[in-house]
Amino acid sequence: MANTITLKRRISSVKNTRQITKAMEMVAASKMRKAQEHAVHGREYREAAHSLLSRLSSLTDVEQHPLYIKRQVKSRIYVVITSNRGLAGAYNSNILRLLSKAIIEDQKSSIKVKIIAMGNQVAQFVKRIEGVDLLAAYPGFGDHPTANDIRPVLNMVVDLYTAAQVDDIKLIYTNFRSNLLQEANTLALLPATFDGNDKGEEPLSNATFEPSVEVVLDNVTIRLLEVQLWQAMLESVASEHSMRMMAMKSATDNASDLIDDLTLAFNTARQAAITQELAEITSGAEAIK
């Protein structure tokens, strides 16, 4: 009897858990669709910024711009994007694994590593690593991050690089490919780069810029960095919801399988108990005779 009671309680507990994971799966699926739309639309804006910057670069010497100057790398900043909470499959672990490999390689090369954490998961991870400075920690920016949300991060990396306090800045985020494929990527932020093979429809040699090409280039470079950070956030949000949906779906399926196994064990135990009771009644009746 005790065995059947225990199994019944476990079945009830697993059913409650399945209801929770199913609800989380539905919520993540709804958020994923919206985040995916934002990520796809943002890619067009990022490509347009790259195209404009490439065309402007042919009119001036961009290597003299403070954000394009390349220096020997003695210190490096990683801007890392993770989530604030878990239950998202391998979303956070993929990013942290990529960050760990990068830190090990930099430490072997005697490069000082600094971290700007965007998400509680990476902030907690970096605090446990010796020899790595945590410059700043920002919580998640919600399901719909805006350009204003990432402005403090942008201003910090631009000021540090312009002041030559850091020689290289990289961005680590999760790129959303599809509902089943998300990749942890590393993107070079500073020194700023551009696509020299861009083929614009019209040359800009005869265009007039006010107040000057240098000023326009400076503004476009800042906007390009902003677009890269913003798009990385959108891709990461879409990836997080997608991986959380898949993780909760897997948990729901596992719960259903466990309920089936427990139900079978419960029926077997109950049948065994009934059989034993019948045997005892039969034995008692025979003893009375």
Ramachandran angles phi, psi of 29, nearest 5° = -65, -40
pLDDT at res. 242: 79
Global pTM exceeds 0.85: no
Q: Give residue 25's pLDDT.
A: 72
Pairing verdict, β 168-176 and 182-190: antiparallel
State the pLDDT at residue 285: 66
SS3 content of the chain, % helix, strand, coil (to 5): 60, 15, 25
Indicate if 28-246 has the same CATH topology as 2-25+249-288: no
Domain boundaries, the chain: 2-25+249-288, 28-246
Distance CA 34, CA 13 (A): 33
Distance (Å) of CA 267 to CA 14, 270, 286: 17, 5, 28
pLDDT for the residue 60: 60
Q: How would you write the pLDDT of the chain (289 residues) with one tens digit per residue?
A: 457 778 888 888 888 888 888 877 777 777 777 776 666 666 677 677 666 666 665 656 666 677 777 888 888 888 888 887 777 777 788 888 888 888 888 888 888 888 888 888 888 888 888 778 888 888 766 667 777 778 888 888 888 888 888 888 888 888 877 767 778 888 888 887 665 555 445 555 556 666 766 777 777 778 888 888 888 888 888 888 778 877 787 888 888 888 888 888 888 877 777 777 677 677 766 667 6
Q: What are phi and psi of 247, to 5 degrees?
A: -65, -40
- Residue 136: predicted pLDDT: 83
Run of H or E including 170: strand 168-176
Architecture per CATH, 28-246:
3-Layer(aba) Sandwich (3.40)
Question: Is the domain 2-25+249-288 a CATH 1.10.10.10 member?
Answer: no
Which amino acid, 56? L
